[in-house]
Amino acid sequence: MTIHREGFKILFITLLGWFVVNVGLFYLIPDWELLRGLIAVFTLIVFFLFLQFFRHPHRSTPRNENHIICPADGKVVVIEKVMETEFLKDERIQISIFMSPLNVHLNRFPVGGKVEYQKYHPGLYLVAWDPKSSTENERNTVVVRTNNNISVLFRQIAGKVARRIRWYCKEGDVAVQGEEFGFIKFGSRVDVFLPTTAEINVELGQKVKGGETLLATFQ
């Protein structure tokens, strides 16, 4: 496992800040060894939590043109039929994955093909499980048309804490199933909109892994 590039700057700043704090406390309260020790332990725990936020585990994706692979680590919180109004403008099955602060935060292409649409939307910062967050929060939408001529829309959604969405693809790019297309710092949610004929392979409350868990199968 490695550290994702999105974490390099913030981890360096955090480590430097904690170092300055602990050195300062050593000189300011030299006789309070217990307090200094507790603060040092606290800062160390926080730093390792930040390391968890930005970990980049290797995943081996079983690529298959008939499979939709999970784009993010987390828990399935929505499986329902909805009208997709931004680009596809038809009825779809929406599957939403909620990423907690302890999950891996990078996002992977659920299908392979060609990126036919990508658009970033500034917006609100409602909690990620609020149904309105899908259309009102800061978000980034990507649509990939597969080699089987099926369009799959997926959307990165910022939450109450996560306010830094990153994406690494644009219209016309080749999408490789399982490869990373973006990152959401400190967790949030990813929605996937599938054809209504797709066979769903996950259930509500299920924990899933990006790049590995089979979300659904094209029929």
Annotated catalytic, 188? yes
Q: Select which of 96, 133, 151, 188 is catalytic.
A: 188
Q: How far is CA 68 from the centre of its chain?
A: 16
The model's pTM: 0.80
CATH 2.40.30.10 fits 67-217, yes or no: no
Strand positions, DSSP E, the chain: 2-3, 55-56, 67-69, 74-84, 90-99, 106-108, 113-121, 139-145, 151-157, 165-167, 174-175, 180-184, 188-194, 199-200, 207-208, 214-217
Where are the domains positioned within the chain?
Answer: 2-56, 67-217
pLDDT of amino acid 103: 87
Which H or E run includes 122? none
Mean pLDDT in consecutive groups of 10 residues from the start of the chain, 219 residues: 73 76 70 72 76 78 94 96 96 95 90 97 67 73 96 89 81 97 85 97 97 96
What pLDDT is recorded for position 170?
96
Q: Which tokens belong to 56?
A: 């980049």
